[in-house]
């Protein structure tokens, strides 16, 4: 069950952490992320990350190279399919939406990044270069709590059961981003590969914390192993609705120079599409992860 966390914590002499909500997320002060973290600073960030799942760093002056250096302190880059990266930076996405742009918003539904991969990213890091004065927040939900608040009977039902994950709804030729859009600022290209299915446990065990988390999401979880469509829709519908209960969530408001990192193994996130007519430019990298296990 959710435990209350202090609204303000001091991790070390140089690291100040302020919780966003009692469920998830914290803002971190006292660090310049454009410079390499010292050993004690990195350990403090990793500790805060393990406890809060989403970390927000304000007023960071970073170019793409600095973002890459920051990410590599937590592990090698993850693989990013279907989207053309920044020129000269094969592991960095420029998440861009111009003021007059229309159509589906990239990341605009509840999901965990690339859960259709055999080894989804352990973490995602997103830097706000140019953001609206208001709108375009990102919401996050704690999937440890989503699992821990299930009934004992539901936990028994989910034990040993796999979910089917696929990129087909987004990146198959008939998917949301499956066909080239000449009016889009991002070069997203669909592929038949997106039809492939990857099985992952509905309940996973985090490789660092050892805690169990619900591992489903609206975008990439398309079914449940050994269930027919009606059974799968009914159970997934309940789990998906439960996974984003307001008491599990926080909401991050962006400002220029904000860097947010989140643990992709035990959270979901949702980019909120409420800034029509305003420009938004972000830089995004992922950190490689492990194969999810029960």
Catalytic annotation present for 211 = no
Strands 267-271 and 138-142: antiparallel
Burial class (CB in 10 A: 0-12, 13-18, 19+), 249: buried
**Planar angle of CA 117, 45, 254, nearest 5 degrees:** 75
CA distance 71 to 124: 9
Catalytic residue among 52, 111, 168, 270: 111
269 part of the active site = yes
Catalytic residue of the set 52, 94, 97, 113: 113
Helix or strand or coil: residue 223? strand
Active-site choice (168, 269, 270, 280)? 269
Distance CA 280, CA 62 (A): 16
Q: Is 111 a catalytic residue?
A: yes
Is there a catalytic annotation at residue 165? no
Checking DSSP bridges between strand 93-97 and strand 280-287, what pairing results, if any? antiparallel
State the catalytic residues. Answer: 111, 113, 269, 284
């Amino acid at each position: 069950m959710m435990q209350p966390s202090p609204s303000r914590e001091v991790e070390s002499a140089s690291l100040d952490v302020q919780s966003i909500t009692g469920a998830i997320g914290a803002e971190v002060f006292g660090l310049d992320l454009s410079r390499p973290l010292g050993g004690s600073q990195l350990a403090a960030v990793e500790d805060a990350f393990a406890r809060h799942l989403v970390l927000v760093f304000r007023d960071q002056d970073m170019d793409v190279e600095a973002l890459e250096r920051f990410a590599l302190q937590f592990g090698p880059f993850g693989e990013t399919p279907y989207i053309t990266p920044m020129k000269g930076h094969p592991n960095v996405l420029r998440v861009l939406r111009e003021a007059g742009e229309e159509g589906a918003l990239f990341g605009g539904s509840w999901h965990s990044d690339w859960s259709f991969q055999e080894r989804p990213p352990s973490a995602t890091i997103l830097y706000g270069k140019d953001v609206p004065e208001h709108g375009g927040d990102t919401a996050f939900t704690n999937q440890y709590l989503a699992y821990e608040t299930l009934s004992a009977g539901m936990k028994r039902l989910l034990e040993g059961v796999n979910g089917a994950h696929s990129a087909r709804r987004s990146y198959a030729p008939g998917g949301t981003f499956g066909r080239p859009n000449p009016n889009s600022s991002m070069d997203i290209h669909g592929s038949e590969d997106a039809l492939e299915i990857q099985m992952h446990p509905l309940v996973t065990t985090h490789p660092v914390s050892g805690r169990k988390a619900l591992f489903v999401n609206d975008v990439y979880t398309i079914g449940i192993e050994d269930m027919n469509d009606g059974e799968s829709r009914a159970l997934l519908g309940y789990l998906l609705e439960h996974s984003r209960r307001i008491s599990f969530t926080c909401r991050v408001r962006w400002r220029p120079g904000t860097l947010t990192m989140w643990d992709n193994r035990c959270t979901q996130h949702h980019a909120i599409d409420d800034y029509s007519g305003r420009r938004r430019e972000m830089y995004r990298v992922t950190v490689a992860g492990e194969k999810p296990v029960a």
